[in-house]
Amino acid sequence: MTAARKPPVVALVGCGRLGSAMVEGWLASGAVRPTDLIILTPSSKPAAEAARAVGARINPDAAELAGAEVVVLAVKPAAWEAALEPLAPHLGPDARVVSVMAGVPAARIAALAGRPTARVMPTTAVAQARGVAALWSEDAGALEAARELFGPVAATVVLEAEDQMDAATAVAGSGPAFVYAFVEALARAGAASGLSPDAAAALARGALRSAGAGLETGAPLDDLIARIASPGGTTRAGLDAMRESGDLERAAAAAVQAAVRRARSF
């Protein structure tokens, strides 16, 4: 019987919203042990302090980075060079770098770090171990390091090429906000049709939960739609109205294209 691999020693650089979500998910799932987690953050964050309370090291001396097997970059794209440059000389020879930043090519990060690099675009639902994450690396070791970190907290999708990462960022990384915006619009439409604002919001949120439960079955999307949209029914009438106007397709295309353009501007 093969022994389970020990969780890696991880250094997380940056603990904003996404970094905090990763910390919460890693510790809750056991993907990273508290005593194997180093967090570098310029300001106090609740997730980092909670991790400190169970054994994580917060802003230790740079020399402690030598023990990190994986270094996760979770800073803003504009700040990554300033964050990584002073750390690079302290990394161990076998360390792998995993970037969750949008728009920064792996080759640029690898050149500065002097270490193989993988790129990952996760959603913040990794905090609840219900995220999705797009992965890419040309280095097998870095890709495996990314899988080990994100497999326990997300459904992982390995991309065929790095230039697909911007589209993956738009669809998965930004996608939940687009879905929430649609639910918000659905609630406003319900209120405009006679529901109280509170009732409309509660029903729209419930609709999203119900849709999520359907997605968990793994059934094709068109099958899920067909299960609800019976011929001649109210759902079919609503779907036909959206499709005939083209507004849904235009809104989705505009949102994804704008997010891709923004990612490529970093």
Residue 75 marked in a binding site: yes
- Contact residues for 101 (Cβ-Cβ < 8 A; gap 6+): 73, 74, 75, 76, 77, 80, 119, 266
Angle in degrees, 0-180, between the axes of helices 221-228 and 197-215, rounded to the nearest 10: 130
User: Is the CB of residue 125 less than 8 Å from the CB of residue 98?
Assistant: no
User: Is the CB of residue 45 less than 8 Å from the CB of residue 22?
Assistant: no
Which residue, chain included where needed, has tokens 């119900």?
210
- The enclosing H or E element of 136 equals strand 131-136
User: Is the CB of residue 214 less than 8 Å from the CB of residue 200?
Assistant: no
Residue 88 marked in a binding site: no
Identify the DSSP state of 125: G
Judged by DSSP in three states, 173 sits in helix
Enumerate the H helices of the chain as residue ranges.
17-29, 46-53, 80-84, 106-113, 140-150, 165-168, 175-192, 197-215, 221-228, 234-245, 247-263
Alpha carbon distance 106, 86 (integer Å) = 18
- The enclosing H or E element of 156 equals strand 154-158
Residue 156 marked in a binding site: no
Annotated binding site: 41, 74-77
Annotated binding site for NADP(+): 41, 74-77
